[in-house]
Amino acid sequence: MKKTISIIALGILSIASIGVVMSSSEWSEREDDHQDGVFRDAWLESRADVRPAENPAYQSECGGCHFAYQPGLLPGKDWARIMDTLVEHYGDDASFDESQAAEIRGYLLDNAADRAKLSRARAFSAGSDAGDGLPRITNTRYFKREHYEIPARIVRGNAEVGSFSNCQACHRSAGAGIYNEHQVVIPGFGKWDD
Amino acid sequence: MKIPIAFVMAGLAATSMAYGSAANLIADYRNTGAGPFSPDAGGSAWTQEHQSSSGAGTRSCASCHGTDIGKAGRHAKTGKPIEPMALSANPARLTDAKKVEKWFRRNCRWTLGRECTPQEKGDFIQFITSQ
């Protein structure tokens, strides 16, 4: 009888300890990937830490010339400024027809960093230090904090990357809104995991 | 048996629409008094360099789409990959007239600093179709 009880107790203990191990690894995963309340679903489905840009007009009009930066990468006031200045869009005329511009503006503002649910996008809502030019994701406080260790020579001086604006050159899953550092591969230099 | 036939019909319809769009555009340009159009003229205009509006260097169609349009290109400024332009490599090109006009407008302004004339657009379409 004593033996049976101790076997049962051992069984319960080992199940409990597996539970502890699982939940702690889940927790570190969660810290790591900036997941939040929707962690469980996001982990199972996509592990996105910024909501992917799924608006078709945004994808075709803006994503036609450059990476379709997710709305969660800038606060709403910055997106509004960009939409107000499309004729002088970082040195080029990027204007397009009124009805599409209105749709895209609405999409960007509704999903901007200050309205976002995923925590990495929320981090971008801190915005930028005062600057005189157009808003830039690469100029936000959060972006700078995350990239200050990366030497310019392996980005700007790297023909396959060229610029910090070229997210998906190193963040291979950037299109899916996944920016965690474990999937960063810098062309010609390999993984970057600090 | 009915289903494969429907697929073949749909395929044929899509193919003829593809050529239809390019032919319709050519007909539109001809109606403005432009023509005849030539793939050679389109090909040499493709690599013609223009002073950039921002003052830095020159731009041509090939700056982003490359000189061999059977291969993928890369946006000169943003580095974004661009699917091949040649119909032989990318049959989806020139299938949507509205899209073609939108990109002519955008890219001619970017490259030449003005919109292209119907003559220039007709030549480019002939060039893209011939490759």
Higher pLDDT, A98 or A145: A145
Interface test with A, best of B54, B64, B77, B111 (most A CBs within 10 A): B77
Give the separation between CA A150 and CA A169, rounded to whole angstroms: 14
Q: What percentage of chain A exceeds 90 in pLDDT?
A: 55
Using CB atoms, which residue from B78, B103, B109 is nearest to A66?
B78
Domain boundaries, chain B: 2-130
User: A185 φ, ψ to 5°?
Assistant: -130, 115
Instruction: Please tell me the predicted confidence (pLDDT) of residue A2.
Output: 56
Instruction: Please tell me the predicted confidence (pLDDT) of residue A91.
Output: 82
Q: Is B78 on the interface with A (CB under 8 A)?
A: yes
Does residue A168 have a pLDDT over 60? yes
Q: Are strands B73-74 and B58-59 parallel, antiparallel or unpaired?
A: unpaired
Q: Tens digit of pLDDT for each residue in A63-97?
A: 989 999 999 999 999 999 999 999 889 888 888 88
DSSP designation for A92:
B
Instruction: Please tell me the predicted confidence (pLDDT) of residue A133.
Output: 86
Q: Tens digit of pLDDT for each residue in B64-78?
A: 999 999 999 999 888
Region A44-52: mean pLDDT is 75
If pLDDT is split at 50, 70 and 90, which confidence band does A5 have? low
Region A168-179: mean pLDDT is 93
Using CB atoms, which residue from A92, A96, A166 is nearest to B79?
A166
Is residue A111 classed exposed, middle or buried when 0-12, 13-18 and 19+ CB atoms within 10 A define those classes?
Answer: buried
Residue written as token pair 């949507």: B96
CB B74 within 8 A of CB B81: yes
Instruction: Please tell me the predicted confidence (pLDDT) of residue A194.
Output: 65
Instruction: Please tell me the predicted confidence (pLDDT) of residue A56.
Output: 95
The reply to whether ipTM tops 0.90 is no
Residue of A nearest to B99 (CA): A60
Give the separation between CA A113 and CA A73, rounded to whole angstroms: 6
Report domain B2-130's class.
Answer: mainly alpha
Higher pLDDT, A40 or A88: A88
Does residue A37 have a pLDDT over 80? no
Instruction: Please tell me the predicted confidence (pLDDT) of residue A14.
Output: 52
Higher pLDDT, A182 or B31: B31
Give contacts of B110 with chain A, Cβ < 8 Å: 92-93
Q: What percentage of chain A exceeds 70 in pLDDT?
A: 76
Give the separation between CA B51 and CA B104, rounded to whole angstroms: 18
Instruction: Please tell me the predicted confidence (pLDDT) of residue A95.
Output: 83
CB A135 within 8 A of CB A128: yes
The whole-angstrom distance between A66's CA and the closest CA on chain B is: 5
Give the separation between CA A68 and CA A46, rounded to whole angstroms: 18
What is the DSSP secondary-structure string of A50-67?
A: S-----HHHHHHTTTTS-
- Rounded to the nearest 10 degrees, the angle between the axes of helix B97-112 and helix B118-130 is 110
pLDDT along chain B (131 residues), means of 10: 53 49 93 96 96 82 96 90 94 93 91 95 97 93
